[in-house]
Amino acid sequence: MKHNSNVIHGVEAKKSGSSIVQENKVRCLTLNFFSYKMLLPNASVAEVTALKSIEPKLGAPEWFGGLMNWRDQAVPVVIFEKVMNSDASKPQSYRRVLILNAPNNKGCSPFIALGCQSIPSLTLIEEERVAATEIQSEKATHIKLDGENYIIPNISLLETMVSEVMSE
Protein backbone atom coordinates (compact mmCIF):
# COMPACT_ATOMS: atom_id res chain seq x y z
CA MET A 1 0.00 0.00 0.00
CA LYS A 2 1.41 3.38 -0.99
CA HIS A 3 1.47 6.21 1.60
CA ASN A 4 1.66 9.90 0.82
CA SER A 5 2.99 12.07 3.61
CA ASN A 6 1.77 15.62 4.21
CA VAL A 7 2.36 18.08 7.01
CA ILE A 8 -0.83 19.75 8.24
CA HIS A 9 -0.39 22.46 10.88
CA GLY A 10 2.81 20.83 12.14
CA VAL A 11 1.22 17.38 12.55
CA GLU A 12 2.28 14.66 10.17
CA ALA A 13 -0.64 13.01 8.42
CA LYS A 14 -0.36 9.86 6.32
CA LYS A 15 -2.93 9.37 3.61
CA SER A 16 -3.97 5.79 2.99
CA GLY A 17 -6.77 5.51 0.47
CA SER A 18 -9.57 7.77 1.71
CA SER A 19 -8.60 7.86 5.39
CA ILE A 20 -6.15 10.18 7.12
CA VAL A 21 -4.31 9.01 10.25
CA GLN A 22 -2.71 11.75 12.33
CA GLU A 23 0.59 10.91 13.99
CA ASN A 24 0.18 13.14 17.07
CA LYS A 25 2.09 10.94 19.48
CA VAL A 26 5.11 11.78 21.61
CA ARG A 27 7.57 9.29 23.07
CA CYS A 28 7.98 10.05 26.77
CA LEU A 29 9.43 8.68 29.96
CA THR A 30 7.16 8.37 32.98
CA LEU A 31 8.60 8.01 36.45
CA ASN A 32 7.77 8.42 40.09
CA PHE A 33 9.55 10.86 42.32
CA PHE A 34 8.93 10.97 46.04
CA SER A 35 5.94 13.29 45.75
CA TYR A 36 5.24 13.41 42.02
CA LYS A 37 4.64 11.44 38.90
CA MET A 38 6.71 13.00 36.16
CA LEU A 39 6.49 12.95 32.39
CA LEU A 40 9.50 13.87 30.24
CA PRO A 41 9.72 13.93 26.46
CA ASN A 42 12.19 11.24 25.45
CA ALA A 43 14.21 13.78 23.44
CA SER A 44 14.99 15.76 26.62
CA VAL A 45 16.71 12.79 28.30
CA ALA A 46 20.31 12.04 27.32
CA GLU A 47 20.68 9.00 29.57
CA VAL A 48 19.39 7.22 32.66
CA THR A 49 22.29 6.07 34.81
CA ALA A 50 23.15 4.86 38.29
CA LEU A 51 23.90 7.52 40.86
CA LYS A 52 27.58 8.18 41.39
CA SER A 53 29.13 10.24 44.13
CA ILE A 54 28.01 13.84 44.30
CA GLU A 55 30.35 16.64 45.30
CA PRO A 56 28.45 19.34 47.22
CA LYS A 57 28.83 23.01 46.33
CA LEU A 58 29.33 25.26 49.33
CA GLY A 59 26.74 27.99 49.73
CA ALA A 60 24.38 26.46 47.16
CA PRO A 61 20.61 26.48 47.72
CA GLU A 62 18.95 23.42 49.21
CA TRP A 63 17.61 22.26 45.81
CA PHE A 64 21.14 22.10 44.36
CA GLY A 65 22.43 18.63 45.18
CA GLY A 66 25.97 19.22 43.93
CA LEU A 67 28.03 18.04 40.98
CA MET A 68 28.22 14.51 39.65
CA ASN A 69 30.90 13.23 37.30
CA TRP A 70 29.28 11.81 34.16
CA ARG A 71 31.33 11.02 31.06
CA ASP A 72 34.19 13.17 32.35
CA GLN A 73 31.91 16.18 32.85
CA ALA A 74 30.72 17.84 36.04
CA VAL A 75 26.93 17.69 35.79
CA PRO A 76 24.82 19.70 38.26
CA VAL A 77 22.33 17.60 40.22
CA VAL A 78 18.94 19.16 40.95
CA ILE A 79 16.72 17.88 43.77
CA PHE A 80 13.44 18.51 42.00
CA GLU A 81 11.25 18.00 45.07
CA LYS A 82 13.09 20.90 46.72
CA VAL A 83 12.54 23.04 43.61
CA MET A 84 8.83 22.29 43.99
CA ASN A 85 9.02 23.03 47.75
CA SER A 86 8.15 19.53 48.91
CA ASP A 87 9.84 17.03 51.13
CA ALA A 88 12.71 15.12 49.64
CA SER A 89 15.37 12.72 50.73
CA LYS A 90 19.07 13.34 50.47
CA PRO A 91 20.49 12.95 46.95
CA GLN A 92 22.36 9.83 48.03
CA SER A 93 19.03 8.01 48.47
CA TYR A 94 18.33 8.22 44.74
CA ARG A 95 18.76 4.99 42.82
CA ARG A 96 18.99 6.50 39.37
CA VAL A 97 19.83 9.81 37.78
CA LEU A 98 18.23 11.25 34.67
CA ILE A 99 20.73 13.20 32.61
CA LEU A 100 18.71 15.89 30.84
CA ASN A 101 19.80 17.91 27.85
CA ALA A 102 19.96 21.60 28.78
CA PRO A 103 17.73 23.15 26.08
CA ASN A 104 19.47 26.52 25.80
CA ASN A 105 23.02 25.35 26.55
CA LYS A 106 23.71 28.60 28.36
CA GLY A 107 25.18 27.25 31.56
CA CYS A 108 28.44 25.67 32.58
CA SER A 109 27.18 22.25 31.52
CA PRO A 110 25.04 21.17 28.57
CA PHE A 111 23.36 18.72 30.96
CA ILE A 112 21.33 18.76 34.18
CA ALA A 113 20.86 15.69 36.36
CA LEU A 114 17.65 14.85 38.24
CA GLY A 115 17.79 12.14 40.85
CA CYS A 116 14.88 9.69 40.94
CA GLN A 117 13.79 6.64 42.91
CA SER A 118 12.14 4.62 40.17
CA ILE A 119 13.28 3.29 36.84
CA PRO A 120 11.58 5.34 34.10
CA SER A 121 9.11 3.65 31.77
CA LEU A 122 8.94 4.43 28.08
CA THR A 123 5.45 5.29 26.87
CA LEU A 124 3.85 6.66 23.74
CA ILE A 125 1.51 9.54 24.60
CA GLU A 126 -1.43 10.38 22.38
CA GLU A 127 -2.95 13.84 22.65
CA GLU A 128 -6.39 12.50 23.64
CA ARG A 129 -4.92 10.90 26.80
CA VAL A 130 -3.77 14.29 28.14
CA ALA A 131 -5.97 16.86 29.88
CA ALA A 132 -5.14 20.23 31.42
CA THR A 133 -5.42 20.91 35.14
CA GLU A 134 -6.11 24.15 36.95
CA ILE A 135 -2.79 24.03 38.80
CA GLN A 136 -0.34 26.59 37.47
CA SER A 137 3.35 26.87 38.19
CA GLU A 138 6.36 28.36 36.44
CA LYS A 139 8.43 25.39 37.65
CA ALA A 140 6.36 22.67 35.97
CA THR A 141 3.35 22.07 33.78
CA HIS A 142 0.66 20.09 35.57
CA ILE A 143 -1.40 17.70 33.47
CA LYS A 144 -3.66 14.70 33.79
CA LEU A 145 -2.58 11.63 31.87
CA ASP A 146 -5.20 8.90 31.78
CA GLY A 147 -6.87 10.63 34.76
CA GLU A 148 -3.71 10.70 36.93
CA ASN A 149 -1.78 13.83 37.89
CA TYR A 150 1.66 14.30 36.31
CA ILE A 151 4.13 17.14 36.06
CA ILE A 152 6.43 18.12 33.23
CA PRO A 153 9.37 20.09 34.62
CA ASN A 154 10.32 23.42 33.07
CA ILE A 155 13.83 22.37 32.04
CA SER A 156 14.64 25.86 30.73
CA LEU A 157 13.91 27.30 34.17
CA LEU A 158 16.03 24.59 35.84
CA GLU A 159 18.86 25.46 33.47
CA THR A 160 18.60 29.14 34.41
CA MET A 161 18.54 28.32 38.13
CA VAL A 162 21.59 26.05 37.79
CA SER A 163 23.45 28.67 35.73
CA GLU A 164 22.93 31.26 38.48
CA VAL A 165 24.27 28.90 41.16
CA MET A 166 27.26 27.88 39.08
CA SER A 167 28.21 31.49 38.29
CA GLU A 168 28.41 32.38 42.01
> Which CATH fold topology does 26-167 show?
OB fold (Dihydrolipoamide Acetyltransferase, E2P) (2.40.50)
CB of 117 closer than 8 Å to CB of 34: yes
Average pLDDT over residues 40-57: 91
User: Which residues are CB-neighbours of 18 under 8 A, at least 6 positions away?
Assistant: none
pLDDT digits (tens, 9 = 90+) for 100-128: 999 887 767 899 999 887 789 999 999 89
pTM for the whole structure:
0.79
pLDDT in the model for residue 14: 36
Q: Which is more confidently placed, 116 or 86?
A: 116
CB of 103 closer than 8 Å to CB of 44: yes
Helical (H) or strand (E) element with 44: none
Sequence spans of domains, the chain: 26-167
